Structure 1
């Protein structure tokens, strides 16, 4: 059984502040041109997507430098919903045995429930991981997938003075070549373990790319 964990790509959809806007228009139609073609404009971090190390690391790999098999991920799931705006998700929320045992995970998928705010201003004030949580993931050799815009805090007018600047969790994970998948959805009720397929579009020199994120469930 399979479950789609992806947001649909459509005109005007939510993006990270400052990223290219998404537009989809009809370039050709069957009635006028004999075949239908869409004209699609978007950024490399549109919708549900995977980050490449080159997204934050000056000498990091692009997606095309990674073997396609690296996007088939043994996933561990943790549900921390409901979360309050800009709530900090610290080490206590992570599994105690992360990175240990005979069956370590490639990625920890975290449900905050914030996908219910998708395409609203509230989505910008999403929960985020603390740098300490990022350090634990890094030490466990485990990436992260979230139903938020960002595992780090997104700058908004509601940001607190004590929130970390920049992208510390990105740097910890992408700097170690670990995966980050953002803007997941439909996570409620997932099992503790599942297989996550997150194949990116094959873009040249890609620092990230949209994915059709799919969970394979037993």
Structure 2
């Protein structure tokens, strides 16, 4: 994550401009000029601080993680189940922060990352941060004695988040409606239920 001293003035405006440009044009047609057109900043200012659009995309991925960090900080001390649900809302296609057009752009980014080592590393860092944030919510639930103490929070976090992200990606690419809703419903009734100390189901978890 970039240090604040390395960020240009109006960093947040530039990041939201990148967000809007990605949603509008996708990754393939994205240019620094198109990003600048979504903000009050000039193309030359963006080019001064970011050598390439991939460098700007890397900063944008950090920005998304920062947004999620900020949202989670506001819910510190809240019910762990509500925090978990709110976390998953962030990765569900169709929200203001994560519209379907952004999902399409992220799918493009994944394809580019197959042959772009720097971008692949940044996307891996982004995912790892998100896994850690969700594992932290589960750990808080364990500390509050809402979730069982014998579970592997990191394994659960990866499984839950990848399930929702995978469903969202497939729903976007295939157009099959309801995939994400179905997966989330199953996560609630089977996987998340298995986290609870007072779960009436089988307490033996394959992720323990």
TM range (shorter): under 0.3
- Normalising by structure 2, report the TM-score: 0.22
Greater strand content: 1
Greater helix content: 2
- Normalising by structure 1, report the TM-score: 0.22
Report which structure shows greater RCO (CA 8 Å, sep ≥6). Answer: 1
